[in-house]
A = this chain, B = another copy of it.
Amino acid sequence: MATLNRRKFFKAAGAGGAAMAAAGIAAPAIAQSAPELKWRMTASWPKSLDTLYGGAEAFAKYVSEATDGKFQIQVFAAGEIVPGLQATEAVGAGTVEMCHTAPYYMWGKDPTFALGCATPFGLNTRMQQSWWNEGGGEKLMNEFYAKHNVFDLYAGNTTAQMGGWFRKELNTPDDLKGVKMRIAGFAGAVMAKVGMVPQQIAGGDIYPALEKGTIDAAEWVGPYDDEKLGFYKVAKYYYYPGWWEGGAMIHIHVNKEKWEGLSAHYKAVLRAAAAQSAILLIGKYDALNPQAVKRLVANGTQLRPFSEGILDVCFKAANDVYAEISAKNEDFKKVWESIKAFRGDQYLWVQVAENTYDTYMMIQQRKKTL
Interface string of A350-370 (1 = CB under 8 A from B): 111111111011101110011
Is A278 an interface residue, CB under 8 A from the partner? yes
The 24 sampled A-B contact pairs (Cβ below 8 Å) are A62-B271, A68-B263, A126-B282, A130-B287, A131-B287, A133-B279, A135-B287, A159-B354, A160-B353, A223-B349, A240-B352, A240-B357, A241-B353, A242-B353, A291-B345, A308-B360, A315-B364, A344-B370, A347-B358, A347-B364, A347-B370, A350-B362, A351-B366, A355-B355
Q: Write out the residue numbers on chain B whose beta carbons fall within 8 Å of the beta carbon of A160.
A: 353-354, 357
A33 CA / B66 CA spacing, docked (Å): 10
Q: Distance in Å from the Cβ of A59 to the closest Cβ of chain B? A: 10
Is A284 an interface residue, CB under 8 A from the partner? yes
Q: How many residues of A contact B (CB 8 A)?
A: 86
Contact A290 B349 (CB under 8 A): yes
* Closest residue on chain B to residue A267 by CB atoms: B65
Is A124 an interface residue, CB under 8 A from the partner? yes
User: Which A residues are within 8 Å of any B CB, using their own CB?
Assistant: 33-34, 62, 65-68, 121, 124-127, 129-135, 159-163, 222-223, 240-243, 246, 263-265, 268-269, 271-273, 275-276, 278-280, 282-284, 286-291, 293-294, 303, 305, 308, 311, 315, 340, 342-358, 360-362, 364-366, 369-370
State whether A365 and B351 are in contact (beta carbons under 8 Å apart), knowing that A280-B133, A283-B129 are contacts in the complex: yes
Contact B124 A125 (CB under 8 A): no
Q: Is the interface of A mostly helix, strand, loop or mixed?
A: helix
The answer, among B125, B280, B353, B355, for a CB contact under 8 Å with A126, is: B125
State whether A345 and B279 are in contact (beta carbons under 8 Å apart), knowing that A352-B303, A353-B240, A358-B124 are contacts in the complex: no
Q: Distance in Å from the Cβ of A311 to the closest Cβ of chain B? A: 5
Q: Write out the residue numbers on chain B whose beta carbons fall within 8 Å of the beta carbon of A343.
A: 361, 370
Contact A33 B68 (CB under 8 A): yes
Q: Write out the residue numbers on chain B whose beta carbons fall within 8 Å of the beta carbon of A360.
A: 121, 241, 243, 308, 311, 315
Q: Write out the residue numbers on chain B whose beta carbons fall within 8 Å of the beta carbon of A357.
A: 124, 160, 240-243, 246
Q: Write out the residue numbers on chain B whose beta carbons fall within 8 Å of the beta carbon of A353.
A: 159-163, 222, 240-242
5 A-B pairs with least C-beta separation = A65-B268, A272-B272, A134-B287, A130-B286, A290-B345
